[in-house]
Amino acid sequence: MLWVIYLAIVILVIAGLWKAFEKAGVPGWSAIVPIYNVYVMTKMANRPGWWVILTFIPLVNIVVLVIISMDIAPKYGQTAAFGVGMALLSFIFWPILGFGDAQWQEAPVTL
């Protein structure tokens, strides 16, 4: 029974990421490709692509993901605090971003 709840949460997060990526002009499928989705998020945050490497370093990865999320949130018209939520409580905040009224407020992301 617990795995059903876990699976539902994973599907919800993936769907939220997929929709949020599409709002930014990025193909939605890139949300389900490991490592590449973090690369896409670095580009959405206007950070260098090599920051993906930093996500493999314990503890540094948390800081990097918080910074990336805090950079992405204002581009959807959200606050930096919402960005912290995107990093630390992704199963709540990414679906809110993807399925909510928030729209990407910049030019589409170029990869």
Q: Is the pLDDT of residue 84 over 90?
A: yes
Q: Where are the domains of the chain?
A: 2-99
Question: DSSP labels for 20-60?
Answer: HHHHTTS-GGGGGSTTHHHHHHHHHTT--TTHHHHTTSTTH
pLDDT tens digits, one per residue of 102-111: 999 988 888 7
In one-letter notation, the amino acid at residue 107 is A
Taking residues 75-89, report their average pLDDT: 94
